Structure 1
């Protein structure tokens, strides 16, 4: 269900996420994973295939049904340890008991202009002590960079987010710390490329992926990435 335009982004986030899971949990441990706003099911299915028990939460009925149809094509063992729930993904804490999951993913929110506090509180509530929260948000503070560098001044002005609409990393980190889930590591996702950029084949694609991976872990480059990947750990 993954498209060519999302493949580069998914690869970068996957490698970052796997790095954090490997560092946090013993090899071979079967984790309880919640994927909030499961969308196309890429991460949920990938983690279920790796042996973890995965719950996907999706507000959009059509998307939830599409992932369920994909699950029908999977082996029985994967189907048994994966479920997709059609519920409001903005109110995660209302659907599960506190501390239910070892890993919580939220790779599609909050959006610019949203109040992130309620979403973060719900995510933190269902995360077990020592659990990993993986949060991907648009880097609104750097959104004007690409049109500006391309000479698109109107586009740059349009994307210069007002302070009250910017998803600031320091504010998100403070919110996470306030709910006993401090930021452990953060990455930039797509420093040099825009979301939707396809990954070329062959050597060109390998070089692009290597450059994006290194820049996404290195200051000052990661601060101007299109997306920010925040990894926090529950106290």
Structure 2
């Protein structure tokens, strides 16, 4: 469910997710302060093998992953065991959330690289919003069509780049593995329709998918420098809108 990067550093978790983790850590710290609870309840919808769930559990939170793939959930359980943490695994998809989990009992729901693949993005967000406690948070990470156009043009696929810009789903053709992508305005509209207040939108992987890996090979500190660059670009009003992914926190 995650788009493949084009360089080694694009596949490195620190580069791919640093901006998202910055936002989540700050939001969770605020939530702990406000609620007085060190252990928050978190649901990772479509959380797969636990790239976010396991580190969140390691921070001391109660994490539930809901995913339709039994293979991914098995890998999640192995990953959690290796990390020495407990993560609850439930098989299901966005349409099942209301049947699997109680309403109004979650502090944070993650919806990362999920909206692109569900049949009804608005319905999925509404189902996730119903899980939240008052002032609970929904973290949405979704593919950006402007980045897809940029990446296709850099690859010399100029007709496909133009196709992205004119396609209502932000796709570059029938062979595009991503069913749909979302602009900043579309994400804000979807969150509002789900009854949530959208926060600041951040760009994720502005440069990471464009920088050739040879610029990092053998250069001490290069990966850390790229992470710092991504963090600096995340809120830039122009660079943010060409990031590979867009991240936003909605609050109930």
Q: Quickly name the TM-score band, shorter chain normalised.
A: 0.7 to 0.9
Q: Deviations over 1:35-85 (max 9, x none)?
A: 11111202111011111011111111100011112223343xx32xx2111
Residue in structure 2 matched with residue 36 of structure 1 by the alignment: 45
- 1:56-205 pair list within 5 angstroms: 56-75=65-84, 78-79=85-86, 82-111=87-116, 114-149=119-154, 151-160=156-165, 162-165=167-170, 166-194=181-209, 200=216, 202-205=220-223
Q: Deviations over 1:172-209 (max 9, x none)?
A: 21232233211012111011132998794632112211
Contact 2:48 2:67 in 1 (8 A): yes
Give the C-alpha shift of residue 231 in structure 1.
Answer: 0.7
Question: Aligned-pair RMSD on alpha carbons?
Answer: 2.6
Residue in structure 2 matched with residue 233 of structure 1 by the alignment: 251
Counterparts of 1:14 and 1:21, CA distance in 2: 10
Q: Which runs of 5+ in 2 are unaligned?
A: 1-7, 171-180
Aligned length: 228
1:219 and 2:237 aligned: yes
Q: Which runs of 5+ in 1 are unaligned?
A: none
Contact 1:6 1:197 in 2 (8 A): no
Contact 1:9 1:190 in 2 (8 A): yes
Counterparts of 1:34 and 1:113, CA distance in 2: 17
Give the C-alpha shift of residue 150 in structure 1.
Answer: 5.2
TM-score using structure 1 length: 0.85
- CA 1:232–1:95: 2 relative to 1, 3 Å: same
TM-score using structure 2 length: 0.80
